[in-house]
Structure 1
Amino acid sequence: MSSAGVTNLALSASMQRPLRWLLALALLLPLTLVAASLALTWSLARTTPVVLVAPAAVFATTLAMYLGLRRRFARIHARIEDGRLHLETGFSRRDYALAELAANGMRVVDLDAERDHRPGLRTWGIGLPELASGWFRLRDGERALCILTGAWNRVCLLRAHDGTRILLSLADPATLHAALASARPVRGVDGSA
């Protein structure tokens, strides 16, 4: 999808499955635990309705946390605009000049085969089944900005000028590849740019 010089890069998988995991882990599980502890407290102690204040506070906090995380999920995207690759991971935002990224090239890798490039330690971001978005330490110790969705068998691997690796699960890597190719400076016969 492109409008007025902006090319949105579609991710390789829908966010529906990670959103279901978020619902289960950030909303349903805490609320189930609160309900169970409330029922146990009520049956054992036969306490007054004042005991409902704590679960009500937990419910409000859990709901606010879930809605905040869901809003962050909605922000996750990658786009090309004005010769720059803009990445929004939900917790951070970065952009890189395409010409700088083009200098190191782009590879499409299978993270199941090249396990050193897999995200290991999440330092700032979101990690759920079929979603890794944010800053990670890769298994080889390198720092990486990731937006990985679905299966990780076709991932775009780039390296920024500061050494940061960028891992993106794109539905069509050719769009980014073409943008990088057009951003590469044209060399003259004498080798000058």
Structure 2
Amino acid sequence: MQEHQFKIAPIRWPAYAFIAALLIVILIPLTAIKSANHYHYSAAVVFTIILLVASLFTYILYTGNRMKFTLTDSHLIIRALYGKTIPRQNLLTNQARLIDFQTEKDLKPFWRTNGIGLPGYSQGWYSSRNHKHKYLVFATDSRRALLIPTTLGYSILLTPASPAEFLTHLTQTS
């Protein structure tokens, strides 16, 4: 059995900047409430809340950067938080292609129905703005995504570190 493994393209800086800004936005009101003494709770509570939020986002980014896509003779295996194993016969490999959402805006995932959406990082179930397309998304770069239609009623959007190589293996071994 032939197996080709691909890592996801690294999560880009906007996701990290968003999380840092979010932590600051959480920190300021919590410390203001504490210093105004409206509520009687300790600094440990403030620290715990910030630590929990930071831990959650650290986990999301850590698992996001460790995503792997494996092509075997019989399956596409996506190892991720919303991972899935899809039989090759359900992949319409002859229609798979590289896309850039800057130029193909009608295909861009817009509505997140279940998943993670940060600037520069998306994972989970999405649909297009007009609800015509449903996607299972594992994306970190909207300029070089790989669109793989399926016979299952949705398409898969991936951003492997080397999308052209992934597409070559996908179409050659199908």
- TM bin, normalised by shorter chain, reads 0.7 to 0.9
Deviates more, 1:65-74 or 1:29-38: 65-74
Matched, 1:65 2:62: no
Q: Give the match's secondary structure for 1:120.
A: strand
RMSD across aligned positions (CA): 2.8
Which structure 1 residue ranges, 5 or more long, are not aligned? 185-193
Counting aligned pairs with the same residue, the percent is 22
What code does the residue aligned with 1:176 have?
F
Counterpart position of 2:169: 179
Q: Give the match's secondary structure for 1:113.
A: coil
Matched, 1:136 2:126: yes
What code does the residue aligned with 2:97 have?
R
The 8 Å contact of residues 93 and 171 in structure 2, kept in 1 or not, is answered as: no
What code does the residue aligned with 1:137 have?
S
The 8 Å contact of residues 96 and 160 in structure 1, kept in 2 or not, is answered as: no
Deviation at 1:182, TM superposition (A): 3.1
* Counterpart pick for 2:4 among 4, 7, 16: 7
Matched, 1:111 2:101: yes
Matched, 1:21 2:17: yes
Counterpart position of 1:124: 114
What code does the residue aligned with 2:126 have?
F
User: Which structure's CA Rg is the greater one?
Assistant: 1
- 1:70-119 per-position Cα deviation (integer Å, ceiling 9, x unaligned): 443344332224532122443x1112223431455312222122211101
What code does the residue aligned with 1:77 have?
K
- What is the distance in 2 between the residues matched to 1:58 and 1:74? 24
The 8 Å contact of residues 155 and 169 in structure 1, kept in 2 or not, is answered as: yes
Relative to the length of structure 2, the TM-score reads: 0.78
Higher relative contact order (CA 8 A, sep 6+): 2
Change beyond 3 A, Cα 1:30–1:77 = farther
Matched, 1:170 2:141: no
State how 1:53-92 maps to structure 2 within 5 Å.
Answer: 54-90=45-81, 92=82
* Counterpart pick for 1:149 among 119, 140, 153: 140
Q: Give the match's secondary structure for 1:51.
A: coil
The 8 Å contact of residues 122 and 137 in structure 2, kept in 1 or not, is answered as: yes
Change beyond 3 A, Cα 1:23–1:109 = closer
Deviation at 1:137, TM superposition (A): 1.1
**Alignment: residue pair count:** 172
- What is the distance in 2 between the residues matched to 1:63 and 1:177? 36
What code does the residue aligned with 2:98 have?
V
Deviation at 1:144, TM superposition (A): 0.3
